[in-house]
Structure formats: C-alpha cells, structure tokens
Amino acid sequence: DRIKLDYSKVLSFVGEEEIAVQREKATKALKGLEDGTCKGSDFLGWLDLPVHITDDELNRISACANKLREQTDVVVIVGIGGSYLGAKAVIEAMSGSFDAYSGTKVVFAGNNVSEDYLYELQAFLKDKKFGICVISKSGTTTEPAVAFRLLKDQLIEQEGVTVARERIVAITDEKKGALRTMSDREGYETFVIPDNVGGRYSVLTPVGLLPVAIAGFDVRALVKGAVDMRAYGKENGAELSATYAAVRNALYEKGYVIEITVNFNPKLHYVAEWWKQLYGESEGKENKGIFPASVDFTTDLHSMGQYIQEGRRNLFETVLSIDKTKYSLQVPCDAHDLDKLNYLAGKRVDEVNKMAELGTQLAHVDGGVPNIRVIIPELTEYYLGQLFYFYELACGISGGILGVNTFDQPGVEAYKNNMFMLLGKPGYERK
Ligand code: PA5
C-alpha cells in the first residue's frame, strides 16, 4: 500500500485547467531535477539517496545505536533545523505518548539558546549515564555548538575523558568545519552528511537515521518507504509529488498564499514542523512563496478554528489523514447518560475523530478554505519514509514551478550576522 492524495475539495476554488497549467510546469521542473539542470543542482543528492544507502551503512548505524543504547540511559541529540527536525518528527510519531515519563532514550538540545532549557537539561543528566550525538553539517552553527560545549564538559566531569570520547558521536561534513576538526582530534566516531544533500533534505542520511535508531525505531523500514516512493514515482512521472506541487501552485496563483498542514493525531506535530522547514526555507525567497503553517486538530479547532473558518480567505489546508489507528478503543455506555454521550456508545474513538475530520473539511470548504488530503495508511516508519520522499520531491518540483533556487537559504544569515556583531565575535565588529 502507499500514501494517496485527494484534491477533489480544491476543485470549487481552482479548475482542472488551472491545475493543468501548473502540471505542465511541474513536468518541466521534474525534468530539471532529474537531469540536474535546475537551480541549485549541486544539492540534488537526496533524489536517489534512499536507493543508494547500502546495507553496510545501515549496519554501521545500527551498531553505533546499539552501542549507545547499551552504554547509556539517555542520549542527547544536539542539532538544529535540518539537523534536528527529521529525527524529531520520526521519534515523536513513533513513540508512545507517555514514553517521556517512563525512561526516555533520546532528548534534544541545541535547537534553541534558552539558558533555562540548558540548565534544566544539565540537571536532568546529572548522575545519569548519558551520551551525545552532535549533528551539524557546517560544524559551525552557534546553537548546537553552545549546547555541545556545555554537555561535553558535563560528560567529561561525570565520566572522565576516555568514557566521554566513547559516548560522543558526531555527524558532520567529511572534511570541513569545526566539528570535523574536533572529532578527528578527539577520536569521536563520526558519520558523514554528503556534500550534495542540504540540511532540510538530510532526514534519510545518518542525520535522521542514527537518532531514530538510537531511539529504537526501524530505520530500514523508513528507508524502504522512501525507496518504494522513489521507484513508484519513476514509473509514473512522480504523479503524487507533481500533482501536489501543481495543485498548491494553482492555489497560490489565485491568492491562497498560506498552506496549513493539519493533523488529527498529535504524533504528527513534528512531521508538520519538518514540513514547515522544508517548504519555508526552500520556497520563501525573492519575495515569493507559500507561507507554511500547521495546526493540531481537534485541539486547535478550539483556538485557530475560528480564524480558519471565518478569517481572511487566503489560506488552504492540507490534511495528513491516517487511515488506521494502532490501537482500538470504544466509547463506553453509561447507565445514567448524564453527559448524553450514549449515542456514541460502542463506537470507536477513531470514528469520532474521523467524523470530526470530515465535518471540519465540509465546514472549512464551505467557509472558503480549499482542502487537500494526504492519506497515510498507517503511522509506521515505512509510511513515514514514503511521506518524506513524497514531500521532498514535491518541494523540489514546487520550487522549480515558482522559479526559485529551492536548495539555498541566503536569508538565514541576516540574524546570525547581527547576533555575532552584538556578541562581539571577532571579525564582525565593523558590520
Ligand atoms: O536546511 C538547512 O540547511 C538548515 O536548516 C540547517 O539544517 C541548519 O541551519 C543547521 O545547520 P548545520 O547542520 O550546519 O548546523
């Protein structure tokens, strides 16, 4: 089985002919990706990446993960942006909702510079056997570098230099950057982020795979999902991705400049965060691009629902709809029925959720919000692999339709330069 796309509920907002115009552009954009003539073609390594991952690489990732799992109670994954969100998305999607209270294996740091967060993390790690998986492609990003410096010192203090070295794994560039230099000097085990894969496209490299393996989830199934999606796309001109890209661009042309990714299962919260980075950083440039937003339903129907139903009509929704739940639970019958819920007695909770989804779709479409659905058969590593690849390819195509370089991010430097100047980093005084 595979993920599916349903765009029937956009057709009262844009016609098939308008989508067809974008579809033609999508075909050209796909060709530009496949033959390497698009903008940013130095960064197309993700296209065939899943297919080229070898058994040896996966074995090495599993071996390293198993070693860390045996030696530690908890591993801190240090990274930000593309060096964070893919792993976080899979781990949140696959973990039990209350695992955090029952001996978690993986926590995250380096994705903010909150002093309180780092202080509390250090307090949490005190007297625990912990390890560090530090991830940075450039090896020079401030947020993870600050967190790593603190955590490395703590690890050395708690365990001594030799054990600390064994419990630190770095994922970085093959040759360049401070993290590479440090790893080589200290003898940390390292994994490489390929040169031709950008941060937000790196979830299927060790950047995503090692943390997922450390958390105990199935990286082979994740990769298999992506491989199958690539193979399926090759058979049919990347039908799914090209259609999604064409539909969202047809909507964009009509003034729908905000796309909200919606879930009805909070485990997908970070999948939407990953998607927001992928699309926001890839398309938001040259004063163009759809603004990617996200909500968790039904939670946010009681907050953002009002705006979506009746606010400015410049947004559309893409619902991540999971067909089958993992567990089964029925609404119980109550002799007194004081809450008047007996009409639901015996129904699956998921049926209530599905009807909420359908009811919301009808209401929002009526209210002027076009609706796309991405149907995921089940929440498993395999389908997440399919979903990641589907979205990555669609993003490459969509950026091509828009005419931007999908794979650069010149805009993220501005805040860094100011921060460095304000903090007195040598070389930045005159800026
Ligand atoms: O997609 C990107 O390139 C960025 O979001 C990076 O992943 C992010 O800035 C982290 O960079 P690095 O891995 O170099 O620390």
pLDDT digits (tens, 9 = 90+) for 345-363: 999 999 999 999 999 999 9
CA 114 – CA 119 distance, rounded (Å) = 9
- Rounded average pLDDT over 159-174: 98
pLDDT average, residue stretch 261-279: 98
H runs (alpha helix) in 236-367: 239-253, 269-283, 305-310, 349-366
Based on the residue annotation, tell me whether 431 is a catalytic residue of this protein: no
Question: φ and ψ at 35, to 5 degrees?
Answer: -100, 5
Give one DSSP letter per residue of 94-154, joined into a string: HS-TTGGGS--SEEEESS---HHHHHHHHHHHTTS-EEEEEE-SSS--HHHHHHHHHHHHH
Q: What is the pLDDT of residue 349?
A: 98
**Average pLDDT rounded to a whole number, residues 93-119:** 90
pLDDT at 335: 97
What's the pLDDT score for residue 104? 61
Looking at the chain, the number of H-run helices and the number of E-run strands are: 16, 10
CA distances from 399 to 154, 405, 414 (A): 43, 7, 22
> What's the mean pLDDT when you consider all of the chain?
96
If pLDDT is split at 50, 70 and 90, which confidence band does 1 have?
Answer: very high
Res. 101: pLDDT tops 70: no
What pLDDT score was predicted for residue 99? 85
Dist CA 402 CA 252 (whole Å): 10
pLDDT at 431 (0 to 100): 61
Q: How confident is the model at residue 79 (pLDDT cuts 50, 70, 90)?
A: very high
CA 201 to ligand 1: nearest atom: 1
Q: What is the pTM of this model?
A: 0.97
The span from the CA of 251 to the CA of 15, in Å, is 10
pLDDT, tens digit, for every residue of 9-59?
999 999 999 999 999 999 999 999 999 999 999 999 999 999 999 999 999
At 388, the pLDDT band (50, 70, 90 cuts) reads very high
Cβ of 137 closer than 6 Å to ligand 1, yes or no, is: yes
Q: Whose CA is nearest to atom 2 of ligand 1?
A: 199
Average pLDDT estimate for 309-319: 98
Q: At 80, which helix (H) or strand (E)? A: none
Does the annotation mark 416 as catalytic? yes
Is the previous residue joined to 298 through a cis bond, with omega within 30 degrees of 0? Answer: yes
Mean pLDDT of 129-140: 95
Q: Is the pLDDT of residue 100 over 90?
A: no
Q: What is the pLDDT of residue 25?
A: 98
Mean pLDDT across 82-99: 96
Give the pLDDT confidence score for residue 413 in this predicted structure: 87
User: CA 125, CA 157: separation in Å to the nearest integer?
Assistant: 12
Pairing mode of beta strands 106-109, 74-78: parallel
For residue 429, the model assigns a pLDDT of 81
- What are 149-164's pLDDT values in tens digits? 999 999 999 999 999 9
| Mutation test residue for ligand 1: of 84, 134, 137, the one with most atoms within 8 Å of CB | 137
Q: How far apart are CA 168 and CA 179, in angstroms?
A: 12
φ, ψ of residue 247 in degrees (nearest 5)? -65, -45
Q: What ipTM does this complex have?
A: 0.98
What was the pLDDT predicted at 291?
98
Cβ of 198 less than 6 Å from ligand 1: yes
